[in-house]
Structure 1
Amino acid sequence: MILDNRGLEPPQPMMRTLATLETLKENETLTIFNDRRPMFLYEQLEELGYKQKTEEQKDGSFKIEIFR
């Protein structure tokens, strides 16, 4: 599942991501693209039991893969 949050102002990217995670099935990965590194999202993911892998893109945006 892919969610492109680029172009959105905070807190919209985090709200969209958390809402989408509620629909994620077991063993699925959510890949999001954000304009900035989602520092506050990392705390929420940890509390909810998710892991993440963040990779900065050449254009300065961030690709974050979220999984259990």
Structure 2
Amino acid sequence: MNAGDPVAASGAPDDRSTVELDVRNLGPPKPLQKTLEATADLADDEVLVQFNDRAPQHLYPKLDDRGLSHDTVETDDATVTVIWRES
């Protein structure tokens, strides 16, 4: 695993373009709302990389309900959740 590259460190496909969303400075429920809005526009050939200050526990079941795959990795300065559609 490559800790410097959250997509490579996750189980997400690494051949897709990335869309980054930094929600570290937003208070609840904005990170959840912004991330769900971003996933609605996520193309099949894209991976959403969400930077947060904590693991988004309330987000995981909502992603599961939408049929989205996800993996969370810890970096030095953020909790990074990578979200993608299975092909």
Common fold: TM-score over 0.5 = yes
Superposition TM-score, scaled by structure 1 size: 0.92
Distance in structure 1 (CA, Å) of the matches to 2:75 and 2:51:
9
Distance in structure 2 (CA, Å) of the matches to 1:20 and 1:36:
18
Shift of 1:38: 0.2
Q: Does 1:15 align with 2:50?
A: no
Q: Please say which structure displays the higher CA radius of gyration.
A: 2
- Residue of structure 1 equivalent to 2:82: 65
- Aligned-CA RMSD value: 0.8
Instruction: For structure 2, list consecutive stretches of 5 or more residues without a partner in the other structure.
Output: 1-18
How does 1:1-68 map onto structure 2 within 5 Å?
A: 1-59=19-77, 61-68=78-85
Aligned partner letter, 1:27: D
Superposition TM-score, scaled by structure 2 size: 0.73
Q: Which structure dedicates a bigger proportion of its chain to helix?
A: 1
Distance in structure 2 (CA, Å) of the matches to 1:17 and 1:50:
12
Aligned partner letter, 1:49: G
Percent of pairs with identical residues: 39
Instruction: For structure 1, list consecutive stretches of 5 or more residues without a partner in the other structure.
Output: none
